[in-house]
Structure formats: C-alpha cells, structure tokens
Amino acid sequence: MSTPNPLDRLLEPAEATAIIRAHTPLLDAERAPLADLAGRVLLEDVVSDEDQPPFPAATMDGYAVVSDDAAPVRRVLGSQFAGTVEGFHVERGTVAYITTGAPLPPGADAVVQIERTVAMPDGVRIDDTPRAGQNIRPIGSDLKRGDRVLARGAMLMPAAVGLLASLGRTDALVARRPRVSVLATGDELVEPGQPLGPGQIRDSNRFALVAALAPLGVTIRYAGLAPDTDAAQRAFLIERIADSDVVITSGGVSMGQKDLIKGLLVELATVHFRQVRMRPGKPFTFATAGPGGRTLLFGLPGNPVSGLVGFEVFVRPALLAMQGHQRADRPYARVRLAHAVTPIDRIDYIRVTLRRADDGLLDAASTGPQQSSRLASFVGANALAIIPPRDMPYAAGEMVDVLLLDAV
Ligand code: AMP
Ligand code: MG
C-alpha cells in the first residue's frame, strides 16, 4: 500500500463545485455589436438618454381628431404616415388620416380607429365619441429619459437586445467569449469515417463535447485527438494552456498505465482535485494553469457518459460563470420517481426521462441500463436524477431532485 495522495481525496460534488467556482475568473469585458449579443450577459448598466416615444404617437390606424368636436362629417386635411411630419393643424371640423406609430398632428388630441369611421363624398363620418388621449401613446410612456432600463448582470434575451437597439446603441459591454480547447486521448481511438483496426473504437467524446459547447457562447480554439504518448499530450497541454481560457481533455485520468493526462496535469498545472464522490464520473480532474491560474483545465474520464455528466455538472456552469451569468447551474426540479431505485455509496446521477403525469406532477423514469459507456441511454434523457446515498432503497413515488437538461 502506498500512502494516499492528498490530490486523490474524494470530494462531494458540492465541494468540487465550490472549488471550481472559487478559481473561475470573470473574463475581460469587450464591446460586442448588437448582432453578437444573444445569450450573453450585460456588464454595464444602461440608462435611457431619451423619452420613448419621443413624440405622441398613434396606436391605431384611423383619424386624428379633436375629441370634443361634434361635427358628424369632417374634412380630411391629408395623410399623416409614420416616419414623417406633415405639419397639419387639426381643428374642429377637420381630421387627418393617421397610421400606427405616426406622430399626432398638433391640435388633435385623440385617434379614432378606422373601423369606427365611414368615408363620405365630402369627408369622413366619425361614429365615435372619443375621449382625449384615446389611442395615443404619450411622450415617454414606454421609457423615460433617465430610466435604468437594463442592469449589469442582465441576460441579453431578445427583448433586451431590441431595447438596446431602440436606444440607438450599436454595441454593449459583455464578457469576451471563452476560448476553449478540447482533446480526446487514447491509442484505441479512430476518427469517425476511418476503418477500425482490431481493438479500436471511434472517438465519440470529442464530438459530443463540441456539441455540448455549441450553445454556451464559446469559441473553440482547437478540438483534436492524441495518442497515449507523453510527447503528444504534453505538447497539446503546453500550447493550449497558453491560448485557451478552458482546456478540456477526455480520458487518461484513471488508474491505468496509459492514463498520462493525470500526471501531466500535476507537472504542468496546479491540480485541485481529481476524484468526486459521484457516479458516473468519479475520476474527474480540475486544475488551473497559466498566468494567475486563469486557464481552467478539466480532465474528464474517457467513458462517454461519465465525460458528459462531468461536463454538465462542473464544466458547463464554469463556462457560464466566467461570462458573468448569475445562474450558471442548470435548473433543479423536484420530481417523483416512477420506479424504485437502489442507492449506491456516492451520489448517483441517473439519466431519466421526465413526463407530466395526470395529476400534474413530473414523473422520472430511467432511460435504461446505466453503464457509463452507454451513450444510448443519454439520448432521450431530459434530466439527471440526483440519488444521494442512504441505507434504504428509494421507493417508487418518492420525490427526488433532478438537474433539468432539456424541456419536459
Ligand atoms: P480512459 O478514461 O482513458 O481510461 O477511458 C475509459 C473508457 O472510455 C475506455 O473504454 C475508452 O476506450 C473509452 N474512451 C476513452 N476516450 C474515448 C473517446 N474519445 N470516445 C469514446 N470512448 C472513449
Ligand atoms: Mg485512455
């Protein structure tokens, strides 16, 4: 028996998350153009420097009128369309045709919608007794000058991007995109599309990881495959630590003789932990490197499901947090087990499908055999059920937490 290495201390997932968070920097801010803001986080407060609308505007197509005009048929001065100012002055006995969004001509104080008017040979008949202000958006009714319309930390959802554009902004301050490098390791791995030799399998992890990264606003610096040689993996790590914010490796972090990533990370980086009390994905290395330790390294286990679960639970939140997201974790929900589950000695993340039951609660059913090589049981899973260890089995109908991965 060798003495236990402190790096191999088994951490609870929550402790592992806390350590990663404590080492996750907020990336530098940059000004990004409107077309490149979707899903990013605002790093400035935005105050309106104008009233919206800047003029009283019609909210209906119809006629601009004087509200206390009793004349049944009124003369039409002309058309006031959106986007121009015609210079009409509406007074009793007259109206101006007006379209939605057009500025209200002086003198008018109401808009009668077209449906309540009838064209006559000598003008238009108004079949309405409008009140002053009817169908008009007053100056500043959408936004007032000086209003703080977006706060630092806001997610730039479509409405927020539209609001920035409406205020005349052409860009906004956001965190720059994380530069991410991915390396699959393993002598047994072959590119999809190439013939398989004896004992070989295809590299699936690199492509699953690149797909998992796609919605997270990152720039992929590099995604490749390396054999289990010190030279190849060392060169990758040195180069990518220098030009990436996050380096993700797959494989090579367990106990085997060809698990080289594990040792290389100790040599080239500062390892914070490498075992988490969870299934799948117990071997999971987290390290930092580079100036100020600002490059995060995640050594995922090679088993395809273990790698993806580790990515979901630890890597994805870090990638969002470094871009300023306040809620970097997937949402949790409390759901009902559709069948009994036998707990193990560590937190078990079970791939489940959630379905809404007749009583409105969500039922969680396992997607089938849960071995960590079986990607097929991750397909169709819309959540990971979190099953903590305990003495007795979980019964069907018991409530447990899940990490929501997708819509139910
Ligand atoms: P390792 O963590 O390197 O010991 O790999 C654990 C298991 O995952 C082995 O069965 C590997 O063949 C498999 N594996 C490793 N990397 C990949 C990969 N990129 N794609 C698919 N399977 C992999
Ligand atoms: Mg390997």
pLDDT 10s per residue in the chain (408 long)?
568 888 999 999 999 999 999 999 999 999 999 999 999 999 999 999 999 999 999 999 999 999 999 999 999 999 999 999 999 999 999 999 999 999 999 999 999 999 999 999 999 999 999 999 999 999 999 999 999 999 999 999 999 999 999 999 999 999 999 999 999 999 999 999 999 999 999 999 999 999 999 999 999 999 999 999 999 999 999 999 999 999 999 999 999 999 999 999 999 999 999 999 999 999 999 999 999 999 999 999 999 999 999 999 999 999 999 999 988 888 899 999 999 999 999 999 999 999 999 999 999 999 999 999 999 999 999 999 999 999 999 999 999 999 999 988
Question: Residue 328: what pLDDT?
Answer: 83
Question: Residue 330: what pLDDT?
Answer: 83
351 alpha carbon, distance to own chain's centre? 21
Whose alpha carbon is nearest atom 17 of ligand 1?
A: 302
> How far apart (Å, rounded) are the C-alpha atoms in residues 1 and 6?
15
Q: Which atom of ligand 1 is nearest to the CA of 185?
A: 16
pTM of the model: 0.92
CB of 186 shorter than 6 A to ligand 1? yes
Question: How, if at all, do strands 383-387 and 347-356 pair?
Answer: antiparallel
C-alpha 259 – ligand 1 centre gap (Å): 10
C-alpha 373 – ligand 1 centre gap (Å): 8
C-alpha 226 – ligand 1 centre gap (Å): 12
C-alpha 53 – ligand 1 centre gap (Å): 59
Could you tell me the CA-to-CA distances from 336 to 147, 180, 397, 407 in Å, in that order? 45, 37, 5, 17
CB of 288 shorter than 6 A to ligand 1? no
> How far apart (Å, rounded) are the C-alpha atoms in residues 155 and 320?
11
- Ligand in closest contact with the CA of 227: 2
Q: Which atom of ligand 1 is nearest to the CA of 303?
A: 8
CB of 184 shorter than 6 A to ligand 1? yes
401 alpha carbon, distance to own chain's centre? 21
On whether the CB atoms of residues 276 and 17 are closer than 8 A, the answer is no
- Ligand in closest contact with the CA of 282: 1
Whose alpha carbon is nearest atom 10 of ligand 1?
A: 303
Question: Residue 70: what pLDDT?
Answer: 94
Mutate to test the pocket of ligand 1, among 189, 196, 265, 298 (most ligand atoms within 8 A of CB): 189
Could you tell me the CA-to-CA distances from 42 to 87, 197, 349 in Å, in that order? 41, 50, 33
Mutate to test the pocket of ligand 1, among 187, 190, 194, 201 (most ligand atoms within 8 A of CB): 201
> How far apart (Å, rounded) are the C-alpha atoms in residues 94 and 122?
11
C-alpha 306 – ligand 1 centre gap (Å): 10
Q: Where are the beta strands (DSSP E) in 86-235?
A: 94-98, 110-113, 117-120, 123-126, 136-137, 148-150, 171-175, 179-185, 189-190, 201-202, 219-226
C-alpha 255 – ligand 2 centre gap (Å): 10
CB of 233 shorter than 6 A to ligand 1? no
120 alpha carbon, distance to own chain's centre? 56
